[in-house]
Chain A
Amino acid sequence: MDPIVSFEDVEVDYDGRSVLKDICFEVKPGEIVGLAGPSGSGKTTLLRHLIGLKRPVRGRIRLFGEPIASLSPASQRLLRRRIGVLFQGGALLSSLNVFGNVALPLQEMGFPDFWVRPMVSLALSLAGLSPENAARMPSELSGGMVTRVALARGLVAEPELLLLDEPTAGLDPIVADGFIALMGDLQKNLGITALMISHDLRALERLCHRLVLVGDGRLIAQGRFEDIRQQADPRIRAFFRLDGGGRP
């Protein structure tokens, strides 16, 4: 099966400063890949490159087999409609209520309200939210609910790839656990393909089929979570210990 995402020897920069080099990894259909690394290691920058917001300095990033950086803006927009993104902190539009936020991707695709309402209802249900929440404003929601609404917005257009940027950041452990369980259910029931950026090792371990670890401006390791944890590389050991998520 062709990979949905592939990074081929990619180098990316941030404000003209090279932050990651020689990045090579793939995300295949039906798998959840975790992207982890210390703060400031360039994980979110990689995500911005993946959705075509920036061009890599070197190498090629393919999304659904297409080299996204080389496409025209119109083609990039079409490609982006095939992905759902859960931004860090939810990034809900504060002027729209929950319904408006979740409906937005479908309205952008040109679907009339007749089809939008049931699809929003489905997305809210998949994200574990009751339909009564649809009329609430983002300012009335708790942190956990904001994340769920953001997930519903990411799911509503039936994306072939879901990108999750620190979905459990800022959530208390119980709410974060609830979110991880929800994502696990979605993976089991819908077979979603996802690339998840996170510091939360528990979330990565429970959800991801594979882990990609970056640091020191390079890709440090990739593979199954357990296999990476066994490696003797001091950077890997430091990452697992310092994060507090590693086993003694």
Chain B
Amino acid sequence: MASPSLQRVEAPGGPERIALSGSWTIRGLQDPKLLSRLEKELRLNQIGHPERVWDLSGATLDHFGALVLRHGWLSGPPAHLHLTPSQATLFARWERIPLCSPQKTTDGLEAWLRPARWVSRTSFDTLSLIGLIVFLFFTFLGQIGASLAKPHRIPFLEICRNLYQMGVKALGIIAIVGSLIGIVISYLAALQLQGFALRGFLVFIIGISIVRELGPTLAAVLVAGRSGSAITAELGVMKIRGEIDAYRAMGTDPLYRLVFPRLVALLILVPLLVGWSDFFGIVTGLGAAALTLHTSFLSLVQQMPRLVPLFNLWFGIVKGAFFGLLIGLVACRLGWDVPSDAASLGQETTRSVVLSITLVIALDALAAILFRRTGF
């Protein structure tokens, strides 16, 4: 591919000729420095020399080359221009092209109204999402009632599959995180209480913080990150691929087939995972305390039921059920409403995790305030 160039040819007795040669094409003009130099040369050779004859017949030209020439000739196409018919077509085509805009054009008033519109739309979206989640909750309650009336219709297989996917497969990570948290609390508290002979207080701190707060919250956060996102993505892909419509077309309630088993599974498994997390947190917490305080692990374990009332354990487990249901409702709702494009699927999955975790912590705070005098 010959490099694009232009040459001034002196013609004795006649007007000067500017001959273009080489590849005046998108690939020939790809180098920005070359492009800028040629534009400059085009201007220099045109301005103040209207008599010059421009001969393009020796150049290979495409639409981009024609565009560069049109731009380079600041005062419009030269009066004396020699073109091949195909080159003339390229220039003629550019005459008819209306410029497009990368963004939607807005007038001044529209620009002023945009923030107000954003606030109102966001508020409306949030309220409608809350409304839809509440609606889904009542639908779920109705489905539980209907399932109890006709137990043979309960999708047991699907519930078991979800229990396995979201529960059994999460046991390892929840055990690890629970154990690590137990160790962290134990060492932090033991360091502060060293020298005060407050062994019982250390057992109380480990027990109450893990079974009442950290166990349920950690299990819920892990489930929201691991399973909530998966639920939103699964339902979103099903919606995009038309599987939900296929259920409807077959006369099946897709909510009952797809959402109900997931909500039931989360309702069952999160309390169990809370118990699992509590167990590892307490065992490792007390183990670490025994090592730090140079005392017997069994003696610390024996103090636990006396210092930490059983109510706290049940309180944490019941909170786990509420957290599980909340995660499920948010994840299913957002997956159900995914717009049909890949970018939205990613956004809704992220939103599902963030919203679930935020609501879990908000619910936890509410529970902490409401039951502040119970369990001590």
B27 touches A131 (CB 8 A): no
Cα(A195)–Cα(B262), bound, Å: 48
Contacts A95-B343, A115-B67 given: A189-B101 contact, CB under 8 Å? no
B27 touches A81 (CB 8 A): yes
Partner of A125, one of B26, B27, B96, B103: B96
B102 touches A131 (CB 8 A): no
B102 touches A125 (CB 8 A): no
Partner of A118, one of B62, B67, B339, B341: B67
Tell me, rounded to whole Å, the shortest Cβ–Cβ distance linking A215 to chain B.
30
A157 touches B100 (CB 8 A): no
Interface of A is mostly: helix
A117 touches B342 (CB 8 A): no
Cβ of B11 < 8 Å from any Cβ of A? no
Interface of B is mostly: loop
B94 touches A94 (CB 8 A): no
Contacts of B67 in A (CB 8 A): 115, 118-119, 122
B97 touches A125 (CB 8 A): yes
Tell me, rounded to whole Å, the shortest Cβ–Cβ distance linking B48 to chain A.
25
Contacts A117-B100, A135-B102, A189-B89 given: A122-B341 contact, CB under 8 Å? no
Partner of B104, one of A94, A115, A121, A135: A135
Contact mask for chain A residues 43-85; partner B; CB cutoff 8 A; 1 contact, 0 none: 0000000000000000000000000000000000000011000
Cα(A140)–Cα(B339), bound, Å: 11
Of all chain A residues, the one with the shortest Cβ separation from B86 is A191
B341 touches A131 (CB 8 A): no
Cα(A137)–Cα(B341), bound, Å: 10
Contact-residue bracket for chain A: 20 to 34
Interface residues of B in 90-111 (CB under 8 A from A): 93-94, 96-105
Cβ of A138 < 8 Å from any Cβ of B? yes
Tell me, rounded to whole Å, the shortest Cβ–Cβ distance linking B297 to chain A.
55
Tell me, rounded to whole Å, the shortest Cβ–Cβ distance linking B1 to chain A.
10
Cβ of A22 < 8 Å from any Cβ of B? no
Contacts of B98 in A (CB 8 A): 121, 125, 131
A134 touches B27 (CB 8 A): no
Cβ of A232 < 8 Å from any Cβ of B? no
Of all chain B residues, the one with the shortest Cβ separation from A120 is B100
Residues of B within 8 A of A (CB-CB), count: 28
B103 touches A135 (CB 8 A): yes
Contacts of B30 in A (CB 8 A): 109-111
Cα(A137)–Cα(B99), bound, Å: 18
Interface residues of B in 340-355 (CB under 8 A from A): 340-344
Cα(A122)–Cα(B26), bound, Å: 14
Interface residues of A in 116-163 (CB under 8 A from B): 117-122, 124-125, 131-135, 137-139, 157-158
Contacts of A115 in B (CB 8 A): 64, 67
Cα(A133)–Cα(B64), bound, Å: 22
Contacts of A111 in B (CB 8 A): 30
Of all chain B residues, the one with the shortest Cβ separation from A189 is B89
A157 touches B103 (CB 8 A): no
Cα(A189)–Cα(B27), bound, Å: 21
Contacts of B343 in A (CB 8 A): 94-95
Cα(A120)–Cα(B64), bound, Å: 11
Cβ of B232 < 8 Å from any Cβ of A? no
Contacts of A134 in B (CB 8 A): 100-102
Contacts of B102 in A (CB 8 A): 97, 99-100, 103, 117, 134-135
Of all chain A residues, the one with the shortest Cβ separation from B102 is A99
Cβ of B82 < 8 Å from any Cβ of A? no
Partner of B342, one of A94, A99, A109, A158: A94
Partner of A157, one of B26, B99, B104, B342: B26
A158 touches B63 (CB 8 A): yes
Cβ of B32 < 8 Å from any Cβ of A? yes
Of all chain B residues, the one with the shortest Cβ separation from A125 is B97
A95 touches B100 (CB 8 A): no
Cα(A139)–Cα(B67), bound, Å: 32
Interface residues of B in 70-95 (CB under 8 A from A): 89, 93-94
A158 touches B103 (CB 8 A): no
Contact mask for chain A residues 216-235; partner B; CB cutoff 8 A; 1 contact, 0 none: 00000000000000000000
Tell me, rounded to whole Å, the shortest Cβ–Cβ distance linking B237 to chain A.
13
Cα(A5)–Cα(B276), bound, Å: 63
Cβ of B25 < 8 Å from any Cβ of A? yes
Cα(A94)–Cα(B342), bound, Å: 6
B100 touches A119 (CB 8 A): no
B339 touches A124 (CB 8 A): no
Contacts of B100 in A (CB 8 A): 99, 117, 120-121, 124, 131-134
Contacts of B103 in A (CB 8 A): 99, 135
Contacts of B341 in A (CB 8 A): 94-95, 137-139
B99 touches A95 (CB 8 A): no
Cα(A110)–Cα(B63), bound, Å: 17
Of all chain A residues, the one with the shortest Cβ separation from B35 is A115
Cα(A103)–Cα(B93), bound, Å: 19
Cα(A157)–Cα(B26), bound, Å: 7
Contacts of B97 in A (CB 8 A): 118, 121-122, 125
Tell me, rounded to whole Å, the shortest Cβ–Cβ distance linking B66 to chain A.
10
Listed in ascending order, the chain A residues whose CB lies under 8 Å from chain B are 81-82, 94-95, 97, 99-100, 103, 109-112, 115, 117-122, 124-125, 131-135, 137-139, 157-158, 189
- Additional A-B contact list (5), CB under 8 Å, known A109-B26, A157-B26: A82-B27, A134-B101, A135-B105, A139-B341, A158-B63
Q: Which 3 A-B pairs have the closest CB atoms?
A: A131-B100, A134-B100, A94-B341
Query: Can you report 14 A-B residue pairs in the complex whose CB atoms are below 8 A from each other?
Result: A82-B27, A94-B341, A115-B64, A115-B67, A117-B102, A118-B67, A118-B97, A119-B67, A131-B101, A132-B100, A133-B100, A135-B102, A139-B344, A158-B64
